[in-house]
């Protein structure tokens, strides 16, 4: 099931836009060192999302956490939630 929330589009009409990625209270640690914490956001269908910041600010760690690559980094610990809907559609080439 995909979460949806009623939002207003630029014309002022209310519409339901599915949430594609939701992150709640995400924190990333390397041993006892806190890399990032308190990350909360939602990305809705058709939105464009970018990650920018200086070197060492946690961009790569954040992407690793979203893609579950933290499973391959023993010292990395992730707390909080990152949810993506499960796609039930399949495409087949004819």
Cα separation, 76 vs 34, whole angstroms? 10
pLDDT given at position 55 = 94
| Per-residue tokens: 27 | 């924190």
pLDDT band at 26 (very low <50, low <70, confident <90, very high): very high
Domain boundaries, the chain: 22-83
For the segment 58-69, the average pLDDT, to the nearest whole number, is 88
The answer, yes or no, to whether residue 94 has pLDDT greater than 50, is no
Beta strand 4-8 with 14-30 is: antiparallel
pTM for the model stands at 0.66
């Amino acid at each position: 099931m995909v979460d949806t929330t009623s939002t207003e589009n630029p014309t002022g009409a209310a519409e339901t836009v599915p949430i594609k990625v939701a992150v709640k209270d995400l924190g990333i640690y390397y041993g006892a060192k806190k890399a990032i914490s308190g990350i909360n956001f939602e990305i809705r269908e058709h939105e464009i999302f970018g990650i920018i910041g200086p070197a060492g600010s946690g961009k790569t760690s954040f992407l690793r956490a979203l893609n579950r690559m933290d499973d391959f980094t023993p010292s990395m610990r992730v707390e909080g939630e990152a949810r993506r809907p499960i796609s039930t559609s399949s495409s087949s080439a004819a």
